Amino acid sequence: MKKTIKKENSASEALIFSRPVSLIDVENHYCAGCGHGIVHRLICEVIDEFAIREKVIGVAPVGCAVIAYDYWDFDVAEAAHGRTPAVATGIKRMLPDRIVFSYQGDGDLAAIGTSEIIHTANRGENITVIFVNNGVYGMTGGQMAPTTLAGQKTSTTLSGRSLKRDGYPIKMLEMLAVLPGTKYAERVSVHSGQEVLRAKRAIKKAFKMQIDNKGFSIVEVLSMCPTYWDMTSIQSADRIKNEVTTFYPLGVIKSC
């Protein structure tokens, strides 16, 4: 009896912890506690489950995920900072049978690329956008981003973000949700195991929307940045749960 249980447990563990086929077995460059690695894996799990690896084309941005193609075993194009949705649009229009997604940070999507994402959504382009929001510019030194919370200290807001001086953090999903071309928008997080599972369901739905030719879909993922938040990994996860989600509430913003 004990041997049977042990064998069943081993099989279960192998299933849970096996590496997705679409995820390359290499050491990543992300800081300890960063959420990018989690999101990379979730995307690969979804692609494998849909069996679309040979049809997928990702578009990587300038930012912490600039070399995402080093970890994904499918086609990935590179885009200039903020132009990720435009490149994804061009690829999808030329190759409409492919499943095209952009992978963007808050600086890429909500700052230099604000115009790009608004017009892409407004046109209802049939692409999927994965928007990783950690509230800072992670690649260039932890500067304030459009999504930095009020009072949050960064390398360019040493005393904290001032609403009077710097304006309010931008809620991109709520802005995009009013556009008729946006068909699905959901905000998730990766600060706990339970939320990671919810994040995967949202990413899977976003890809399914594209597969079914429903139109523009976007998933915002609240992610940890222990390095530029000056916190431990656990403290960063707690910050999302206790602070970040109070301004950026989790859940479906729009679903058509």
Q: Kindly report the three-state secondary structure assignment for every residue of 16-27.
A: HHCCCCCECCCC
Closest CA to 250 of 169, 178, 196: 196
pLDDT of the residue at 2: 45
Which amino acid is located at 167 in the chain?
Answer: G
Contact 160, 230 (CB under 8 A): no
- Give dist(CA 57, CA 98) in Å, integer: 7
pLDDT digits 0-9 by tens, 148-198: 999 999 999 999 999 999 999 999 999 999 999 999 999 999 999 999 999
DSSP 89: H
Which residues does 225 contact at the CB level (< 8 Å), separation at least 6?
A: 31, 34, 35, 134, 135, 136, 138, 142, 236
Tell me which CATH code domain 29-140+170-255 carries.
3.40.50.970
Contact 39, 221 (CB under 8 A): yes
Which residues does 251 contact at the CB level (< 8 Å), separation at least 6?
A: 186, 187
Residues constituting the chain? 256
For residue 212, how many other CB atoms are within 10 A of its CB? Answer: 10
pTM of the model: 0.92
Spell out the domain ranges in the chain: 29-140+170-255
Closest CA to 209 of 130, 132, 126: 126
pLDDT of the residue at 59: 97
- Positive or negative torsion for Cα 52, 55, 59, 64: positive
pLDDT of the residue at 13: 57
Give 10-residue mean pLDDT values along the chain (256 residues): 48 67 94 96 98 97 90 96 96 98 95 96 98 92 93 94 96 98 98 97 98 98 96 97 98 97
pLDDT of the residue at 3: 47
